[in-house]
């Protein structure tokens, strides 16, 4: 068996799973949170037990060292040399990468170059990579890019109607995000459909960040996120698509700089901005059903309408639809939002939920549509880490 570590480093967090490959058995998993703070949290799960430690975790190097030390102390591995490779999630690969890549100096340089397109993500990924590289000398690494799955978009879908030289000279175009999740979920759906030719799948990755994709015969033909992960549907704190003229208007009215307004777009909008309650759909759901909060209701209705508009657009682009799949934190768990979204498109497309199936909470792939629905509706728990592990094994021939 080959042991592969799959890593997802954020600006202040580091998620991990250690796999036995090719069986894809999860040996251990966990997360380091609040990196850079005195009350950092390290959680590791192994043999059905979960252990949590709170202590200062000043940087990612300390987080990685804590993780690797715990692997030995908890008996997950006898020695670190048992780890054969490390795969890393990278949000932005630009036009450079249409597949995952074995890491070398050129790959690192390209990811660094793209930091300005994903300033909240790519720098953190590189910090995590360098921390593991230092802690595990001689171990090979693979980068798996969120943008790679969307590189099959054609020009009429990835170009913006701006002067063309902004694309040719400055690389301004639609890149998309969450591609690793969209690829995994669409593959699972196609498998559940019986691998038909020309399958038409709409994937709704709805978490704190959210994006929709149209997948034709296993290839992405369109996606909602754009030049950055700010674009597309409404999200936890991000606004998604808004009229560009709002930016200079708010700058003048609020006496703020474009960067300050952009910060509002990214961190104070979306569900948080509309509800005034939280960016977490669970808090909004609680306020709606327990307190009858009108802004919570408005948030759910607005969110569902925006998502359903993309479903309608992608139905047209795909020439129909065989399945709509919900995934990620909101998509997998917020049954009431799934119901409102499907209700918004049910008359047009003949798609209907089975209310009993929709209300069931499960970690398994499942169909939640009514037997008479013309389109299957599914809930597919995403698994980006296993995709990272698979690509790492494939590219390193392990």
Q: Chain centroid to CA 53: how far?
A: 27
**Long-range CB contacts (within 8 A, 24+) of 287-294:** 288/336, 289/336
Specify the length of the chain in residues. Answer: 398
Task: Yes or no: say if 296 and 277 are a contact pair by the CB < 8 Å rule.
Answer: yes
Pairing type for strands 83-90 and 49-57 reads unpaired
Whether 327 contacts 215, CB under 8 Å: no
**What's phi and psi for 25, nearest 5 deg?**
-70, 130
Do β-strands 200-206 and 323-327 pair in parallel, antiparallel, or remain unpaired? parallel
Q: Which long-range contacts (CB under 8 A, 24 or more apart) does 150-153 make?
A: 150/174, 150/175, 150/176, 150/177, 150/179, 150/182, 150/213, 150/220, 150/223, 151/95, 151/97, 151/98, 152/98, 152/219, 152/220, 152/221, 153/220, 153/221, 153/222, 153/223
Contact (Cβ atoms closer than 8 angstroms) between residue 213 and residue 203:
yes
Active site residue 146: yes
Distance CA 86, CA 132 (A): 8
- Give the C-alpha separation, 308 to 93, whole Å: 28
**What is the rounded CA–CA span in Å between residue 107 and residue 112?**
9
Burial, 11: exposed, middle or buried (Cβ in 10 Å; 0-12, 13-18, 19+)? Answer: middle
Q: Cα separation of 244 and 392, whole Å?
A: 40
- Residue 215's H or E segment, with its range, is strand 210-216
| Separation of alpha carbons 323 and 35, rounded Å | 39
Give the active site residue among 39, 146, 169, 343: 146
Alpha-carbon distance 203 to 214, whole Å? Answer: 7
Q: Whose CA is closest to 377, among 204, 197, 187, 199? A: 204
Residues identified as active-site: 146
């Amino acid at each position: 068996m080959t042991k592969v570590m799959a890593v997802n480093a954020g600006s202040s967090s580091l998620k991990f799973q250690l796999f036995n490959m090719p069986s894809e058995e999860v040996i251990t998993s966990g997360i380091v949170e609040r990196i850079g703070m005195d009350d950092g949290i390290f959680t590791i799960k192994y043999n059905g037990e979960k252990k949590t430690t709170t202590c200062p975790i000043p940087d990612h190097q300390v987080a990685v060292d804590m993780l690797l030390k715990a692997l030995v102390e908890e008996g997950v591995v006898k020695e670190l040399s048992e780890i054969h490779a490390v795969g890393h999630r990278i949000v932005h690969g630009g036009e450079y990468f249409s597949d995952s890549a074995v890491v070398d100096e050129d790959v690192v340089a390209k990811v660094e170059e793209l930091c300005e397109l994903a300033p909240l993500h790519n720098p953190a990924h590189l910090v995590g990579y360098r921390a593991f590289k230092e802690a595990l000398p001689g171990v090979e690494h693979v980068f798996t890019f969120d943008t790679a799955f969307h590189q099959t978009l054609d020009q009429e879908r990835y170009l913006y109607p701006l002067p063309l030289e902004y694309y040719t000279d400055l690389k301004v175009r639609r890149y998309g995000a969450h591609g690793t999740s969209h690829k995994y979920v669409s593959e699972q759906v196609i498998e559940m459909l019986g691998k038909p030719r020309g399958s038409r799948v709409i994937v709704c990755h709805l978490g704190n960040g959210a994006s929709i994709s149209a997948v034709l015969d296993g290839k992405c033909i369109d996606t909602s996120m754009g030049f950055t992960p700010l674009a597309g549907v409404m999200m936890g704190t991000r606004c998604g698509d808004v009229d560009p003229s709002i930016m200079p208007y708010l700058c003048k009215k609020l006496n703020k700089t474009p960067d300050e307004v952009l910060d509002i777009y990214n961190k104070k909008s979306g569900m948080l901005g509309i509800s005034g309650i939280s960016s977490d759909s669970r808090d909004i759901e609680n306020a709606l059903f327990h307190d009858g909060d009108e802004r919570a209701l408005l948030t759910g209705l607005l969110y569902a309408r925006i998502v359903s508009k993309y479903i309608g657009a992608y139905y047209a682009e795909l020439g129909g639809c065989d399945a709509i799949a919900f995934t990620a934190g909101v998509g997998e768990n917020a049954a009431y939002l799934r119901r409102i979204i499907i209700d918004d498109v049910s008359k047009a497309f003949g798609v209907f939920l089975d209310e009993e199936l929709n209300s069931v909470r499960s970690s398994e792939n499942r169909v939640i549509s009514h037997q008479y629905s013309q389109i299957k509706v599914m809930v597919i728990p995403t698994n980006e880490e296993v995709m990272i592990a698979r690509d790492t094994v494939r590219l390193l021939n392990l």
